[in-house]
Structure 1
Amino acid sequence: MHIKPLSKPHTLTALESLVHRTSNTHCAAQLHELNKRYQLEHAFMALLNQIDHTHFECIWQYQTHHNIYINLIIITDNAVHLFKFNDYSGLHHIDGDGMLINSTTYTTHADISELHCMKYSVINVMPETSTQLPVYTKCVMFNETFMLDIHSHPGDILLKDQILPYLERMSICSKKKKKNSTISTVLVDTSVIHEIHLPDYKKGVSCPDCLALNTLNRFKSLNYCTHCNAIIDSESLFNHNISQFKAILSEQRLTRRNFAEFTAHYFPPFILTKLLNKHFQKFGTTKGAYYI
């Protein structure tokens, strides 16, 4: 049972919408990392779906106030399992502080130490009835070239070919349990969302096919993109740019003026009003009208 289902993070959607609206290199790096993390979560979900996990309580994408991110928490009747995913490659070792270090580049990764910090956080929030449950931590390596040197203890490491057997053992060892346990409720309530600070962005209308900005010419109800030669009807163009508006300006009300400014007044006022009224419900007075 997925208490907190796997879903596409809003920050990832926002960064995707900014691809052609900003040249900020930090945004590009964030987009790459978030997209990779989301793909790894889907890869693990595909393996999880191969076993009977109906008696698991799954909490996806858990984030703490200290910005520690745990990809998946699984609660069974006899244990709590914390998983953190990555695609590190090459030879690594674990130092005395529990840090995972690339033996060639000496790049330091905090995955194992973050898992251990989260382990004690879980123990602290456990209700009295659940204090006897052990908490297991696994740093999941999706890259097949990852290796751990012989001097490092592999207890926290789960290699790609070990994932499915590990999940199968979890399923066999756990029994049917009561859904919506107290501990899962507490964990979901303590999960936080860390929003990114979006940079300044360019305004204009975006092509749904190539995402290029301000490359469209309008002719009646059709729009021609000079960048990819696509021909898009006005309604499809409107829906695409509305989704970008909501992703980038999620805190802002959708009004005719706000959307017109966002698209650099590409849509004629009467067409924009018609499309807004068709796809959204109007609230408020004439001058202060907004759409939901």
Structure 2
Amino acid sequence: MAKTNGEALDLLDVERTDATFADYVTLAKMGIVRANLITVFAGYVVAASYLADNVLLYLWETKWMLLLTLLGSGLVIAGSCYLNNYIDRDIDYKMERTMGRPSVTGKMDGQRILAIGLGILAAGTVMLLIVNHVAAVFGLIGSFVYVVIYTMWLKRTHTINTVVGGISGAVPPIIGFAAVTPTLHIDAWILFLVMFVWQPPHFLALAMRRTEEYRAAGIPMLPVVNGFAITKRQIVWWIAVLIPSSLLLAHYGLTYVLIMLGLGGYWLYLGLKGLKLSDEQAEIKWASKMFFFSLLYFMAWIVTVVLVSL
């Protein structure tokens, strides 16, 4: 029998002692942490390329600062994810992909999740402060947008939630860049822009795949409120904006330009094909292809940026 909202929260707030180490890791959303740390590292490398003739040597000489930057960023992100789980425990039980989280099953009570989240966030912020105050400020900006603006407000009220929430996902490369030099080069903001524009087509494709789950949880994702046709057009428009955005780094060389044109062009081609679909199952299958290609695009872009900066 499905639990009511009140019953779910009553269960979650019962003190439990059977949480495992894996449960604590689950609430940190390590997939999100790892993906964001990759962009922190990319920002660090790009910044280093403007200060050092030998980037690899610079990375070795500043390895402890790099480690502190990555660890601090990881803790800020993980702490923010704990707070997200704490806030969303009244709706996560309605969605298949989140109903097994310890915050939902009752393995960990809400107060413990909140305390751990705040503690991890504070520890990460202190570490970034040791690096420099600019890195710490951007870490807190990302956390505030994700926890307060996205999770507590827009996620539950407006279809623009994924767009505004994308600010938090675009901040990590700036943190990495700022760790090397608090005086941010224009490339730091271009990295931010590319990450920001990449996220809507990525998350809208995911939302199409999970539309019924979001509908059951009462989350106003774009495909839930406005349907697949509008969502598909939005995905295509965002990809069309992403292509020239990525080419703002054309000074990285011809190899970079060709790779990004190829990836962006093919992703746009896949998107345009989807506009012709009208069968719901075919549209969901298309959304899956778009989602997984977005991951390929992300990894290829990061790897390319790092390699051309070395």
Report the TM-score range of the alignment, normalised by the length of the smaller protein.
under 0.3
Higher helix share: 2
Higher strand share: 1
TM-score between the two structures when normalised by the length of structure 1: 0.26
Query: Which has the greater radius of gyration?
Result: 1
Q: Which has the higher contact order (CA 8 A, sep 6+)?
A: 2
TM-score between the two structures when normalised by the length of structure 2: 0.25
